[in-house]
Chains A and B, each alone.
Chain A
């Protein structure tokens, strides 16, 4: 992209101001004074008639002058000779303005100093657009230009770049704004993305995050999630290629969840919150567009699930009776983390009558046994998402997460003769040789109990796992790096 030429600044004093700035309004009489006593040009960013009493005024309508001369604050007073800036001061400071102008007793009725306001050229809503327009681009990706008669949204569908829902067109200014969300360089490689095993840059993640509808502050979570799922342990290739319906389920812990406005309360596993809805979707779009993983191709899911659109939520940490789920993976409370769990869509557990932890644990056990199949064991981890009306019962009784897990694991141990092939009139089941063993449903650390949900409702939810362990996938928790 070509650099825009901008003319030299006029010689003498140049004041860059905007009308929508109390400090600029305050010092308008000083500008009038300076215009009388020296060679002053006022460059105004918004109102072409501000300040009204000044005749030597220029309007910086497209902010080209402000951008090219790195104006970050208004007012800024510059001293220019032969078209070159030789000095500047920002905001209002009588000694500085007197020094630069050589005029004494400036604005003697004003306070000695007053900080300025942000220049329009660094306004967050404009700066990415101005960088694209004036700055040339640092982005390496291929540009795709749609014909003027093409409907952009239809064109994005036709190219196969969406998951079936509309996407935000990833224009250069939007991608640049997205990249402001991370300290990482656009060309950094985040992970090697299956199934095509493509090294994926921060820039490509940002493009897909824009499309998913993310705000820039979500990007570090998306980057961490991608790192987590592209590990050998998580085995994203297998999770994508399986005929089972599972997908990465992302749980965010730490202060970042609140900071970026994630929902851990009412409808936490549902729709309506931008961060929850778009972070998981951004990850899925990276798998699709960068990794090349598409349904009916390498994605062989027989049925799939709504979780495959994108499934992300935050743990309700503030009033949880338990430590954050990330502590299971060795992170201290308060660490920003994302846990990737290979899971399916959630299913509700109702128990409105239990008022003691033992009976509620029995309810959980009875429901958890049926994950994938009541007669299949040790193959499938699970998330148990416990809402506050249920969690309070454990909190009041002093049941730690470990105690609840241990109790559920004990309650889900069953005699092998009930689980072998043919038992209960069902061929599905375990080999005959296991008939005399007592067998647990879950492997050690297979059950993940998290706290989330709204304040009313005696419910919990189960998110069943995919083939767990070395032969399938292990959940992976990583720290989110800004």
Chain B
């Protein structure tokens, strides 16, 4: 019988329930997050055109660099201003 020490962090990750998906985008603000990968802006520009055509309000955001997690203030700003968010990876 071997007894060992747990090498992990022994923590249970906090589980935050997701917001329910909206049944319609009508009247919602859509955030578009560019993670700063090359040409992600092209994809998001087109998405913005399409959303604006449908009469939606769009807010644009950009991470300083794709190699690091979005700064906490940016995440807070997105959560405060937007109802849904679209994040663009690209290369």
- Which residues of A367-386 are within 8 A (CB) of B? none
Choose from B5, B13, B36, B65 the contact partner of A142 (Cβ within 8 Å).
Answer: B5
Which chain B residues lie closer than 8 Å to A242 at the CB level? 67
- Residues of chain A within 8 A (CB-CB) of B1 are 145-148
What A residues does B13 contact at CB under 8 A? 196
Query: Interface residue tally of chain B, by bracket?
Result: 10 to 19
Which residues from B are CB-within-8-Å of A193? 9
With A470-B65, A471-B67 as given contacts, are A198 and B9 in contact (CB-CB < 8 Å)? yes
State whether B4 touches A146 (Cβ < 8 A).
yes
The 7 closest A-B pairs by CB, nearest first: A238-B67, A471-B65, A142-B6, A198-B9, A289-B7, A141-B5, A152-B2
Query: In the complex the two chains form, is A285's CB within 8 Å of B67's CB?
Result: no
Per-position contact with B for A227-244: 1 when CB-CB < 8 Å, else 0?
A: 000000001011101100
Grouping DSSP codes into helix (H, G, I), strand (E, B) and loop, the A interface class, with mixed when no group exceeds half, is: mixed
Closest to B65 in A: A471
Residue of B with least CB distance to A155: B2
A172 contacts B7, CB within 8 Å? no
Given A148-B1, A196-B13, A161:B67 Cβ within 8 A: no
Listed residue (B2, B4, B6, B11) with the most chain A CB atoms within 10 angstroms of its CB: B4
How far apart sit A291 and B65, CA to CA, in the bound complex (Å)? 22
Residue-wise interface mask of A (129-169) relative to B, using a CB-CB cutoff of 8 A (1 in contact, 0 not): 00000000001011111111000100010000100000001
Q: How far is the CA of A152 from the CA of B6 in the complex (A)?
A: 13
Nearest residue (CB) in A for B89 is A243
Q: In the complex, what's the smallest C-beta–C-beta distance from B9 to chain A, in angstroms?
A: 4
Query: CB within 8 A of A207: which of B7, B65, B69?
Result: B7
Cβ contacts under 8 Å, B3 to chain A: 143-146, 171-172
A-B contact pairs, 9 of them (CB 8 A): A141-B6, A143-B6, A146-B4, A148-B1, A161-B7, A170-B5, A172-B5, A239-B67, A470-B65
**What 1/0 mask marks residues of chain B from 9 to 37 whose CB sits below 8 Å from any chain A CB?**
11101000000000000000000000010
CB of A472 within 8 A of CB of B67, answer yes
* Inter-chain contacts of B67 with A (CB < 8 A): 235, 238-239, 241-242, 467, 471-473
Does A120 interact with chain B (Cβ within 8 Å)?
no
Interface of B is mostly: loop
- Chain A interface residue count, Cβ-Cβ cutoff 8 angstroms: 42
Instruction: Give chain A nearest CB distance to B70 CB in angstroms.
Output: 12
Q: Is residue A256 contacting chain B, with contact meaning CB distance below 8 A?
A: no
CB distance from A206 to the nearest CB of B (A): 9
Total number of residue pairs linking A and B with CB closer than 8 Å: 85
Q: Any chain B CB within 8 A of the CB of A175? A: yes
Note all chain B residues with C-beta closer than 8 A to A171: 2-5
Asked if B80 lies at the interface with its beta carbon under 8 angstroms from chain A, I say: no
Bound CA–CA A289/B10 (angstroms): 9
User: Are A237 and B69 closer than 8 Å at their CB atoms?
Assistant: yes
Contact between B9 and A211 (Cβ–Cβ < 8 Å)?
A: no
Q: Is the CB of A237 within 8 A of B68?
A: yes
Q: Which B residues are CB-close (under 8 A) to A175?
A: 5
A171-B5, A204-B9, A471-B36 known; 11 new pairs, CB 8 Å cut-off, are A144-B4, A144-B6, A146-B4, A147-B1, A152-B4, A161-B7, A170-B5, A193-B9, A198-B9, A204-B7, A207-B6
- Give the residue among B36, B64, B67 with the most A Cβ atoms within 10 A: B67
Are B5 and A143 within 8 A (Cβ)?
yes
CB distance from B41 to the nearest CB of A (A): 14
In the complex, the chain A residue whose C-beta lies closest to that of B68 is A238
User: Is A73 positioned at the interface, with any CB of B under 8 Å from its CB?
Assistant: no
State the CA gap A204–B4 with chains docked (Å): 12
A208 to B1, CA, bound (A): 21
Say which residue of B9, B36, B64 sits within 8 Å of A289 (CB atoms).
B9
CB closest chain-A residue, reference B6: A142
